[in-house]
Amino acid sequence: MLPIAHSELVQLFRNRAVLVTSLVMPVAAAVFFIGFRDVFARIGSVGYVAAVLVFTIAAFSLYATTVTTLAARRQDLFLKRLRSTAARDASILTGLVLPVSAIALVQVGVILGVFAAVGGGPADPVLVVVAVLATFVMMLAFGIATAGVTTSPEHAQVTSLPLSLGVVVVASWVGITGTDSLPLLKRLLPGGAATELVVTAWEGGVAVTDSLLLLAPTLAWVVVAVAVAARLFRWEPRR
């Protein structure tokens, strides 16, 4: 697994297009949101800004890059060659997505750290960590599932776009309007419950047990995405 991860990390830093998608764009968006944090806080709340930062990194640095990476490795037959070795399927996939996941986690840690320093820290840092990890697991599972219907790295720009933009839109909707209205719909949409969890963890004022209940919809989406990935993922190029 680790040799695969090291090889993939080298490939990531050699691919300028992936670097722009996974590093430059999310960081630029984060700088924008942090720079105008007071404006966005008036529209929603400080917790809303934190949630948008989390989902920007999760959608583009993690999810979109995962889809592109797996589609590229399938197209150049690297997946097929790896599967002919003694490595298990789970180890192969873990090795391939580990660098992307690590980069995204470092990004979100640094960005949230900067935001906390300039805009005020979270009320419950541990709960924020739990919310971020749950969000990242969900988006990673979505990435592997989406890669199953993606034929090439170029096609990944099309297949990953709806969900990338969708979760950011949901995060903005829930972060701005809250869940007093349409609570079930907002919490069941991908990213809705996770957004509410980030907001409550950052703002405080909600019992931890009530907040942890918001993990259920996110984990349910993980189960759905894993089931879809198991059914649709292909190790060889689609013909």
Residue-wise pLDDT tens digits, 173-208: 999 998 888 999 999 999 999 999 999 999 887 888
pLDDT at 232: 86
pTM over 0.75: yes
Q: Above pLDDT 90, what percent of the chain?
A: 47
Place of tokens 């060889």: 236
* CB contact at 8 A, 141 and 225: yes
Place of tokens 């968006």: 29
- 25-35 vs 89-119: helix crossing angle, rounded to 10: 20
* CB contact at 8 A, 123 and 204: yes
Q: How far apart are CA 197 and CA 202, in angstroms?
A: 8
Q: Which amino acid is at 45?
A: S
Query: How many Cα neighbours within 13 Å face the side chain of 25?
Result: 18
* CB contact at 8 A, 48 and 199: yes
Residue-wise pLDDT tens digits, 41-91: 888 889 999 999 999 999 999 999 999 989 988 888 888 887 888 778 888
Among residues 115, 118, 14, which one has the least CA distance to residue 56? 115
